[in-house]
Amino acid sequence: MTHFVAFRSRAYDTWRMRFVIVLLALGAAALMPLRADAFDLEANLKALHDQYRGDPVLQVAQQNGMSLSEAIESVRRRTGGRVVSAETKVQGDREVHYIKVLTKDGKVRTHKVNGRSR
């Protein structure tokens, strides 16, 4: 009696399988981003969106610079809005005042005013 075999059984070549697995692992590693913040879509979208940019930077230049209270009064007079908050940060050798103003149309705008040099 004759037996017909539809396929021929073949011993697995372990070196070939190892080579294929290594190639797949290297391909997967090449496709991964190098930095974790590459997937930080929220921050990237906020940087591109007009709502989060604020106004174009409004700078007031004077030789001696302004104190925070002078900057607040100056921005309040120019905009006609209500000052919501104000803070001073030191950038390099100069103070920079960030003043948030609630405008008449209900939007909050941030104004940047150069302060005194240190």
- Domain of 73: which CATH number? 3.10.450
Instruction: Using alpha carbons only, give the angle 50, 116, 71 rounded to the nearest 5 degrees.
Output: 55
Per-residue pLDDT tens digits for 62-72 = 446 788 889 99
The fraction of the chain above a pLDDT of 70, given in percent, is: 62
16 occurs within a structural domain: no
92 occurs within a structural domain: yes
93 occurs within a structural domain: yes
22 occurs within a structural domain: no
* Confidence label for 29 from pLDDT (cuts 50, 70 and 90): confident
The DSSP annotation for 72-108 comes to HHHHHHHH-SEEEEEEEEEETTEEEEEEEEE-TTS-E
| Cα–Cα nearest to 96, from 74, 113, 73 | 113
| pLDDT value of position 11 | 61
Task: Give the Cα separation of 76 and 83 in Å (integer).
Answer: 7
Domain range enclosing 60? 54-117
CA distances 116 to 73, 104, 113, Å, are 16, 30, 10
101 occurs within a structural domain: yes
Number of domains the chain is built from = 1
